[in-house]
Structure 1
Amino acid sequence: MPASLTNAHAIRGAIARLDDPNYSRWEAQIRRAGGCRQPIHLRGRVEHWDTATGELLHRYSTRTEPDGVFRVPCKTRRASRCPSCAETYRADTYHLIRAGLVGGKGVPESVTGHPCLFVTLTAPSFGLVHTRREKNGKILPCHARRNAQKCPHGRVLSCTARHGADEDCLGEPLCPDCYDYAGSVMFNATAPLLWKRFAEALRRHLAKSGGLTLAEMRAQLVVSFAKVAEYQRRGVVHFHAVIRLDGPDGPTSTPPAWTTLALLAQAVHHAASAITATVPAIDGQTAQVLRWGHQVDARPITLDGELTEQAVAGYIAKYATKAAECVGTLDRRVFPTEDLAVLPVREHARRLIAECLRLGALDDLAGLRLTQWAHMLGFRGHFSTRSRHYSTTLSDIRADRAEHAIDQDITTGRLPLFEEDTVLVISEWQYVGRGFTPGDALLAASLTGTALPPAIAVFGGDA
């Protein structure tokens, strides 16, 4: 449909919504959803009954709402899908991470005295890629080689350009035909396993350093962590993690005196270099052994200076809302029947997606589910995770927010004041759609000051 007809359709829809007698209630729903780009449409009811008398205290039904539905935020973590809900997720993650560094939300302030490091585990090289290199504030040539040789495909493996920070070529291979696309995909697929083995090796090294068995160490020491996965421009993930040593009861207890910051740093470097993961042979070659890259960074977190607790919490929270956007891939699944040539992605991402689909069709690699996660370039792990003892949980933070919202509704008279122990709550909800019609999207953007979604005609369901 031509853009002029689409715009005219959206304007007519916006005018019809403005003329609706229930517009004020629709506007209140949109504002309450906080600028969500793809709100969920629910149909149902909630009833509050007094268990002692059998009296109906309060009833809410969506029958009187605009379109007969109630709109709630989608609560996605991905900024590419809904910036508003992703910002809420980012803020929650920030407070979760920071509480594990300086206390708060059930974590004592004494946690600042526990050995704690900000650790970065990178991926190995799978071929030369265009990069931006700096030294002492000066931008260096990408890959300058005085006597550069040609690769088997006739390309000179050298680049003397000083790339800008936003150049499209960053992360692209100097020779795509030499680049190990299979290795890159398999590393992403096995990265969660590498992290699991890294954590196990870290605990074993700490136990050995203290002259303890693993069982004996658990009675004295707990390794707590919170981590996030980040995509590099070349399409592989690396992990940023806060790793902290606690006593046997977590952050409320003090770790043993022999667990120093230097010992933790030594254990991190040892574990990163010691563990591997072997993947099945591909294309008739021998089985491939994958490991972390040589660049392992482990720095202490301070209350002042360059690497503060605020900087670390902000960094981790930022990448908790992202996926593979920096690589130029898609924010949806790619199916084997699709024509990859017409996908709006970078050529490097296209090759990585094609390799995922090719390897995903092999029986020996079926367990890695590469076809289902081709749009994520093979990575299928959780982007943001934490250990049980690190700090509070996202569920607790959301529960506190929900309790605050209920208190506000009671204060403003939207809900009656009653004792929770004597009230039975019966609720019934049904999903009926999501998103906006073109006209509603136009109005919602003007009300909340948010940008229009890439495709505003995304309304679904039967509402």
Structure 2
Amino acid sequence: MNGTASVTGNAAVAALIERAALPDFEAWRRGVVRLGGCTNPIHLVGTSVLVDTGTGENLRAASSDDFGGRLLIACGNRRSSVCPVCAGVYRSDTYQLVRAGLVGGKGIGAEVAGHPQVFVTLTAPGFGPVHSRRTRTGRILACRPRKADERCPHARPLGCHTRHEPDDLRLGEPLCPHCYDYAGAVLWQAHAGRLWHRFVLELRRELARRGGVPRSALAEVLRLSYAKVAEYQRRGLVHFHAIIRADGPAGPGSPSPAWAETGALADAVRSAAGTVRLSAPGAEIIGPRLLRFGAQVDVRPITGETPGERLTSSAVAAYVAKYATKGAEAAGAVDGRIRRASDLALLPVRAHTLRMIGTCWWLGGLAPFEPLGLRRWAHMLGYGSHFVTKSRRYSTTLTALRTARAEHRAQQQLTALGLADRATVTVGHWRYAGRGYSPEAALIAASVREGGGGHGT
């Protein structure tokens, strides 16, 4: 294995030396370096022209030939397991988006910092006992203490007296895979996004009831805003972390009514989370499944930016941004979509994860479950909803942040060309021409990543 890697590396070095002798080497190298180490860039072929909008004069022309034959652009993938560099940019953008909704900025007034805000965690229910790590006052406790003779119908022990370390591979694994309700777990996963939607509707109803106003008139006195992220647990199920904020009828710029203070908002969240129910399809095949959130609902007030406070706005924003770039790989799943049933035999995953994927594939082939797209989302263990979502009024958007960054870079480029005082537009035609690196380009990209370079301008 090491010998093969050495031969491959030598070939890449030789290819880089050969490329360095070509006249377009510097342009080609700049095209790779400007990506900041992106691991899977997109190739474009085409041309563009910078035009003065007042005179129609062509100020500057560019083509893929200026970059060694192909223009490389960053992949933009949000998942750190796919591209750590682009995921870092996505994480930073998500942090800014979330923080703006907590303390203001990016077009949101600073007065939102005084609005009622809570940080909520909604978990999945249990589908069977799994190995877990329990601690108390710094001590690791036994996983599931039970009497030694207590066993399930399949003669498996109902308890586990192991004190699991954080890297224990058994964490998240069922004590008995035959007792574990894999069908229920997969169906819960597939409906988690709908459960969240029902939760938000129920939360509005609960607040309207507490405020003594009709549900249809709630928007005249109060509006809810939120931003949420999905995080995979070791057992392969997601739970939601969300910031929920209460605003006045005009949104972030207006205060919420006095009765909708932080404590009332927190109580309403707990009540709504415990109320939501959803019937899963396919009861005639696998039996009825009534889907709900888990009993563990964590609701904590967000305390602003005061130093020493337990839960600050910055800490919450960083926490949400952290999970925005993670996927099902955190639960031991795979990055890519599964195309054929035969692929399941070759997946490098643990037994529990393979059973969840297999259950997705099995249910996905049955008529009642076809609308769920379970085979399409088998690599995500059945979860097909967005990982990061927000309500329209919460704060700015990722698109707005990306647009602002692109405009800033374009202005920097115009300044460098001495054209900052002219009104311009870029007209171009580009087409997709592949993706990835050649071996010699991969060497340069790796050196950029090791040097800590980000996306270039």
Q: What band does the TM-score fall into relative to the shorter chain?
A: over 0.9
Residue of structure 2 equivalent to 1:343: 347
3-state SS in 1 of match to 2:317: helix
Aligned partners of 2:61, 2:340: CA distance in 1, in Å? 49
Aligned partners of 1:17, 1:447: CA distance in 2, in Å? 18
Aligned partners of 1:148, 1:235: CA distance in 2, in Å? 29
Aligned partners of 1:310, 1:247: CA distance in 2, in Å? 23
Distance 1:59 1:342, change over 3 A: same
Say which is worse superposed, 341-350 or 367-376, in terms of deviation: 341-350
Amino acid across the alignment from 1:141 = A
CA offset at residue 418 of structure 1? 5.0
Deviations 1:242-294 (A, max 9, x none): 00000112111111111111111111011101111111235734321010000
Alignment: residue pair count: 447
Residue of structure 2 equivalent to 1:311: 315
Residue pair 1:122, 1:238 contacting (<8 A) in 2 also: yes
Residue pair 1:40, 1:74 contacting (<8 A) in 2 also: yes
Aligned partners of 1:450, 1:362: CA distance in 2, in Å? 51
CA offset at residue 82 of structure 1? 0.4
| Unpaired segments ≥5 residues, structure 2 | 453-457
Q: 1:327 aligns with which of 327, 331, 352?
A: 331
Residue pair 1:13, 1:440 contacting (<8 A) in 2 also: no
Structure 1 segment 24-173 matched on structure 2, within 5 A: 24-66=26-68, 68-173=69-174
Aligned partners of 2:437, 2:333: CA distance in 1, in Å? 25
Q: 1:369 aligns with which of 370, 373, 384?
A: 373
Say which is worse superposed, 182-191 or 423-432, in terms of deviation: 423-432
Distance 1:392 1:179, change over 3 A: same
Aligned partners of 1:446, 1:51: CA distance in 2, in Å? 40
3-state SS in 1 of match to 2:385: coil
Distance 1:157 1:107, change over 3 A: same
The two structures, once aligned, show a CA RMSD in angstroms of 1.7
Amino acid across the alignment from 1:419 = R
Residue pair 1:127, 1:179 contacting (<8 A) in 2 also: yes
CA offset at residue 39 of structure 1? 1.2
Amino acid across the alignment from 1:6 = T
CA offset at residue 10 of structure 1? 2.2
3-state SS in 2 of match to 1:338: helix
3-state SS in 2 of match to 1:161: coil
Residue pair 1:330, 1:345 contacting (<8 A) in 2 also: yes
Residue of structure 2 equivalent to 1:459: none
Deviations 1:40-97 (A, max 9, x none): 111111113345544222221122321x111111111010110000000000100111
Say which is worse superposed, 372-381 or 156-165, in terms of deviation: 156-165
Deviations 1:355-389 (A, max 9, x none): 00000000000000000000000000000001011
Normalised TM-score (structure 1): 0.93
| Unpaired segments ≥5 residues, structure 1 | 452-463
Normalised TM-score (structure 2): 0.94
Residue of structure 2 equivalent to 1:221: 222
CA offset at residue 450 of structure 1? 6.7
Aligned partners of 1:404, 1:50: CA distance in 2, in Å? 18
Deviations 1:151-200 (A, max 9, x none): 12221121111011111111111111111111111111000000000000
3-state SS in 1 of match to 2:342: coil
Residue pair 1:221, 1:248 contacting (<8 A) in 2 also: yes
Distance 1:125 1:264, change over 3 A: same
Amino acid across the alignment from 1:40 = I
3-state SS in 2 of match to 1:190: helix
Aligned partners of 1:190, 1:292: CA distance in 2, in Å? 11
Q: 2:21 aligns with which of 15, 19, 22?
A: 19
Percent identity at matched positions? 49
Amino acid across the alignment from 2:296 = Q
Amino acid across the alignment from 1:82 = C
3-state SS in 2 of match to 1:101: helix
CA offset at residue 219 of structure 1? 1.3
Aligned partners of 1:379, 1:436: CA distance in 2, in Å? 31
Q: 2:419 aligns with which of 416, 419, 422?
A: 416
Aligned partners of 1:54, 1:318: CA distance in 2, in Å? 46
Residue of structure 1 equivalent to 2:455: none
Amino acid across the alignment from 2:50 = H
Aligned partners of 1:50, 1:113: CA distance in 2, in Å? 46
